[in-house]
Amino acid sequence: MNSETLVKEAIIKDVKNIVSEEQVVTDRETLYDASSDRYRKYMKAKGVLDNPLPTAVVYPNNPEEVKELLMYCNENDINVIPRSGQTATEGGLENWKDLALVIDGSHMNKILKIDPYNMQATVQAGVPLQALEDELRKIGYTTGHSPQSKPIAQYGGLVATRSIGQFSTLYGGIEDMVVGLECVFPNGHISRIKNISRRAGGPDIRHIVIGNEGTLCYITEVTVKIFKHYPDNNKFYGYLVNDVEDGVKVLREVMVNGYRPSVARTYSPEDARQHFYHFYEDKCVLIFMAEGPEGIVEATGKGIEEAVEKFKDGIVKQVDSQLIENWFNQLNWTQQTIDDEVQGMIDNDKHDGYTTEVSADWETITKIYNNVIDRIRNEFPRADDLTMLGGHSSHSYLNGTNMYFVYNYDINCEPEDEMKIYHHPIQAIIVEETLKLGGSMCHHHGIGKYRNEWTKEEHQSAYYMLESLKEVFDPKGVMSFGNIYPVQEGLKYQK
């Protein structure tokens, strides 16, 4: 038995003294699954991941156990990987250290309070988003939050990754929904940010926690806004348009005129093909959904129609709204969807593609899109292997929008080489062009471990502020090693 094995056995023994033996899992299958998230999904499915397995997966039952676990890891220089929901896509859950504990919050799964009068709900970190949504729907309310991972995502992970949902143009991202929260720092300090609608008591300290990707603290409890639900009033709109720029012009017109549809998207023909193959006619697709009280829905619908009329030269034709509604009702993942995808990768030597999402102002976003597509088609050495390259804008604001680049390819290499030969070079082009034109390299999936080489360029002079947070709250660097902050040791996985 080597020294590393002895150290790991000692850690496992110590952890079982902090929590119960049943809360600590160490079988190889569980550790392998916990060693990575969906970022290197093909390598993972093929069983060829090359990063270390974590020492154990631990399931605390309450914030006090989280506190004791974090203090133990901090004192013993053990990497902590906070996990809640396990739907991360950017390597944020991947382990890069020989000694590491995955601390999974799914046992902290109580809905603590639903408060319709004050329009908020308080949940523990391991509460699935769908579970809260289901309870709210029973009494006529909704979370307003609907990422594609909604059936399986949990609140700790949603807040830690600064997630966004498909209805964000109306309800906002998770950062707009969080009222207050509780979190634990590696030194054991438990902080509670109270539930107040708005205050001016200094900087908004919620944002130290929201989007920290596990690098500063562990989230144990969240209070979020809730909204009245008006499903009978929903209206859907769909159009075929000439190009991405025509679609973006209509999106901009709707937003700057003050309307807030819950869904506002435009798809390139390549991306539209996989979603709307039965009606896209080799054109771009523009879709909207209006929801809320009847008067707001009517006004929003009128605003959409006026915007479409203003830019009618770019509109090919309107689409039956029922087609858009049917598509939307089938959009979310389930655990079965993920399981089927994994089995497909094992059986068929292929996967369902990757995405890289960025954001910019209105005048820049189409420049980024066109530059990226041109560079990939002309500079990417394996361009002939691409089976799909396109994108869509799906989250819009008064002053700009996002672009979701979507791409897939035939995998003509060994599974362990796929990321380096295909995905990483494509993602690098997307990030480089976005930063060159002043956009953000990550709109909602976060930095994780595989965009951290550009973190300093993303933040530029403001990186001083981000770096200082790490130095204060996690001076020993035990929290989510490699997330957000660039580390030399990660280069062997990134390049």
pLDDT of 83 above 60:
yes
Catalytic residue IDs: 404
The average pLDDT across 43-64 equals 96
pLDDT of 332 above 90:
no
Q: Is 101 annotated to bind ligand?
A: no
Give the pLDDT of residue 67: 98
Q: Is 219 annotated to bind ligand?
A: yes
Q: What is the pLDDT of residues 343-383, one digit of tens each?
A: 888 878 788 788 999 999 999 999 999 999 999 999 999 99
Give the pLDDT of residue 41: 92
pLDDT of 6 above 90:
no
Give the pLDDT of residue 337: 72
Give the pLDDT of residue 346: 80
pLDDT of 169 above 90:
yes
Euclidean distance between CA atoms 91 and 94, whole angstroms? 5
pLDDT of 192 above 80:
yes
Question: How large a percentage of the chain has pLDDT more than 70?
Answer: 99
Euclidean distance between CA atoms 335 and 346, whole angstroms? 17
Q: Is 387 annotated to bind ligand?
A: no
Q: Is 215 annotated to bind ligand?
A: yes
Distance of CA 321 to CAs 226, 234, 278, Å?
28, 11, 14
Q: Is 70 annotated to bind ligand?
A: no
Euclidean distance between CA atoms 292 and 275, whole angstroms? 26
Give the pLDDT of residue 112: 98
Give the pLDDT of residue 335: 73
Q: What is the pTM of this model?
A: 0.95
Euclidean distance between CA atoms 233 and 229, whole angstroms? 9
Q: What is the pLDDT of residues 108-137, one digit of tens each?
A: 999 999 999 999 999 999 999 999 999 999
The average pLDDT across 427-446 equals 97
Euclidean distance between CA atoms 65 and 474, whole angstroms? 19
Q: What is the pLDDT of residues 291-321, one digit of tens each?
A: 999 999 999 999 999 999 999 999 999 999 9
Euclidean distance between CA atoms 325 and 235, whole angstroms? 9
Q: What is the CATH code for 234-329? A: 3.30.70.3450
Q: What is the pLDDT of residues 243-277, one digit of tens each?
A: 999 999 999 999 999 999 999 999 999 999 999 99
Euclidean distance between CA atoms 75 and 65, whole angstroms? 15
pLDDT of 333 above 70:
no
Kindly report the CATH class assigned to 3-106. alpha beta
Please list, residue by residue across 238-254, b when 16 or more beta carbons sit within 10 angstroms of its beta carbon and e when fewer do: bbbbebbbbbbbbbbbb
Give the pLDDT of residue 265: 97
Give the pLDDT of residue 492: 87
CB 444 within 8 A of CB 163: yes
pLDDT of 94 above 80:
yes
Give the pLDDT of residue 340: 77
Mean residue pLDDT of the chain comes to 95
State residue 255 phi and psi, 5-degree precision. -70, -45
Q: Could you state, in order of their start, the residue ranges of all structural domains in the chain?
A: 3-106, 111-228, 234-329
The average pLDDT across 146-170 equals 94
Euclidean distance between CA atoms 244 and 391, whole angstroms? 9
CB 59 within 8 A of CB 101: no
Q: What is the pLDDT of residues 442-480, one digit of tens each?
A: 999 999 999 999 999 999 999 999 999 999 999 999 999
Euclidean distance between CA atoms 183 and 105, whole angstroms? 12
The average pLDDT across 172-198 equals 97
Q: Is 213 annotated to bind ligand?
A: yes
Q: Is 266 annotated to bind ligand?
A: no
Three-class secondary structure assignment of the chain: CCHHHHHHHHHHHHHHHHCCHHHEECCHHHHHHHCCCCCCHHHHHCCCCCCCCCCEEECCCCHHHHHHHHHHHHHHCCEEEEECCCCCCCCCCCCCCCCEEEEEHHHCCCEEEEECCCCEEEEECCCEHHHHHHHHHHCCEECCCCCCCCCCCEHHHHHHCCCCCCCHHHHCCHHHHEEEEEEECCCCCEEEECCCCCCCCCCCCHHHHCCCCCCCCEEEEEEEECEECCHHHCEEEEEEECCHHHHHHHHHHHHHCCCCCCEEEEECHHHHHHHCCCCCCCCEEEEEEECCCHHHHHHHHHHHHHHHHHCHHHEEEEECHHHHHHHHCCCCCCHHHHHHHHHHHHHHCCCCCEEEEEEEEHHHHHHHHHHHHHHHHHHCCCHHHEEEEEEEECCEECCEEEEEEEEEECCCCCHHHHHHHHHHHHHHHHHHHHHHCCCECCCCCCCCCCCHHHHHHHHHHHHHHHHHHHHHHCCCCCECCCCCCCCHHHHHHHC
pLDDT of 1 above 70:
no
Kindly report the CATH class assigned to 111-228. alpha beta
Euclidean distance between CA atoms 94 and 76, whole angstroms? 20
